[in-house]
Amino acid sequence: MNLDRLTLGTAPDSWGVWFASDPHQVGWQQYLDEIAQAGYSWTELGPTGFMPQDPSQLRDELAARALEVCGGTIFAGLHRGAEALEDAVEACAKEARLLTAVGARHLVLLPEQYTDMHTGEATQAGDIDPDQWKNLTTGYDRLGRILAEEHGVDLVFHPHADTHVDTQARVERFLADTDPRFVNLCLDTGHISYCDGDNIAIVERFPERIRYVHLKQVDPVVRDRVRREKLSLAEAVPLGVMVEPPYGEPAMPPLLDALAAVDTDLFTVVEQDLYPVEPHIPLPIGARTAGYLRGCGLGPVRRWPY
Q: What's the confidence (pLDDT) of residue 44?
A: 98
> Which tens digit of pLDDT belongs to each residue from 169-181?
999 999 999 999 9
Mean pLDDT of 54-82: 97
Helix (H/G/I), strand (E/B), else coil: 55:
helix
Q: How confident is the model at residue 26 (pLDDT cuts 50, 70, 90)?
A: very high
The band of 191, judged by pLDDT with boundaries at 50, 70 and 90, is: very high
What does the pLDDT read at residue 116? 67
CA distance 41 to 47: 19
Residues in Cβ contact with 279 at an 8 Å cutoff, skipping those fewer than 6 apart: 16, 26, 30
**Mean pLDDT lowest for which of 24-38, 103-117, 204-218, 225-239?**
103-117
CB atoms within 10 A of CB 91: 14
- H or E element in which residue 157 lies: strand 154-157
Domains and CATH numbers, the chain: 6-295 (3.20.20.150)
Helices (H), strands (E): how many in the chain? 11, 10
CA angle centred on 234, ends 290 and 212, rounded to 5°: 40
Bond before 238 cis per omega within 30 degrees:
no
